[in-house]
């Protein structure tokens, strides 16, 4: 079903996204997968949709992430103009998050709703690896991907809220079967080891019957 989505690369917009990051939740092309691998497995765990045997639960989670949309109230408490700006960029924004040319608006559908929530129009994403003009400089692709995932430059953050407060929201999201919301909170710095009522986030997801977030 993932292949039937025909999802473009989340980083450059190439038509064939045949690789995925197991911990970042994005589908990418071969060129961008190479940049993910260069960051190291502690940042991005790459697998092939075609060549690697992956657990059904992992593939189900990946599919859910590609098709889930962040709700209007999922702006990490920012609200107001920023949420409105995010909603304005929703039209036609899929997994690639307006992945052609410049930054454009913020995606609201799929993992790029998290990783490109605050992507400014001035930031130029890498050329599509399957474009007629070629993939473009490798250095530009690597810099963009490191900014996006290692530094998390485009992730929405709320400096007024600490890791434990976000961890509490993560704990709740793990029971609500909203993996994209959980990804958003983790990317924003939530304490993934947060414990409430004697249960960690993972334990709470399992006890709630939400295997996707577990």
Q: What are phi and psi of 195, to 5 degrees?
A: -125, 135
Q: Encode pLDDT of 14-64 as tens digits.
A: 998 999 999 999 999 999 999 999 999 999 999 998 888 888 888 898 999
| Cα 43–chain centre separation | 13
Q: Are 29 and 6 in contact (CB under 8 A)?
A: no
Q: Are 48 and 38 in contact (CB under 8 A)?
A: no
Q: What are phi and psi of 139, to 5 degrees?
A: -60, -40
What's the CA gap between 183 and 213, in Å, rounded?
A: 9
Q: Encode pLDDT of 3-12 as tens digits.
A: 666 789 999 9
Q: What are phi and psi of 114, to 5 degrees?
A: -95, -55
Q: In the block, which residue shows the tokens 């960029």?
A: 89
Cβ neighbours, 10 Å, residue 1: 10
Across the range 123-133, mean pLDDT stands at 92
pLDDT on residue 82: 37
- Sheet containing strand 27-28, edge to edge, reads 27-28, 19-21, 46-48
Q: Encode pLDDT of 169-193 as tens digits.
A: 998 888 887 899 999 999 999 998 8
Q: Are 95 and 8 in contact (CB under 8 A)?
A: yes
The yes-or-no verdict on residue 125 having pLDDT over 80 is yes
Q: Taking the model in full, what pTM does it have?
A: 0.81
> pLDDT category, 134, cuts 50, 70, 90?
confident
Q: What are phi and psi of 193, to 5 degrees?
A: -100, 15
Q: Encode pLDDT of 139-165 as tens digits.
A: 999 999 999 999 999 999 888 889 999
Q: Taking CA 82 as the corner, what is the angle to CA 115 and CA 67, rounded to the nearest 5 degrees?
A: 45
pLDDT on residue 16: 82
Q: Encode pLDDT of 59-108 as tens digits.
A: 898 999 998 888 754 555 433 333 333 333 333 334 454 444 445 445 57
């Amino acid at each position: 079903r993932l292949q039937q989505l025909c999802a473009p690369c989340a980083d450059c917009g190439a038509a064939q996204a045949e690789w995925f990051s197991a911990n970042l939740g994005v589908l990418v092309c071969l060129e961008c997968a190479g940049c993910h691998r260069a960051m190291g497995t502690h940042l991005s765990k790459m697998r092939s949709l075609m060549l690697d045997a992956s657990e059904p639960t992992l593939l189900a989670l990946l599919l859910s992430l590609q098709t889930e949309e962040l709700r209007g109230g999922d702006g990490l408490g920012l609200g107001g103009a920023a949420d409105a700006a995010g909603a304005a960029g929703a039209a036609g924004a899929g997994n690639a998050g307006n992945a052609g040319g410049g930054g454009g608006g913020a995606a609201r559908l799929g993992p790029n709703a998290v990783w490109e929530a605050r992507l400014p129009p001035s930031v130029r994403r890498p050329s599509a690896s399957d474009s007629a003009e070629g993939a473009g400089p490798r250095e530009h692709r690597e810099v963009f991907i490191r900014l996006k995932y290692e530094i998390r430059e485009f992730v929405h953050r709320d400096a007024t809220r600490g890791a434990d407060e976000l961890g509490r929201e993560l704990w709740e999201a793990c029971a609500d079967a909203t993996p994209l919301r959980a990804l958003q909170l983790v990317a924003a710095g939530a304490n993934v080891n947060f414990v409430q009522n004697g249960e960690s986030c993972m334990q709470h997801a399992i006890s709630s019957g939400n295997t996707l977030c577990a």
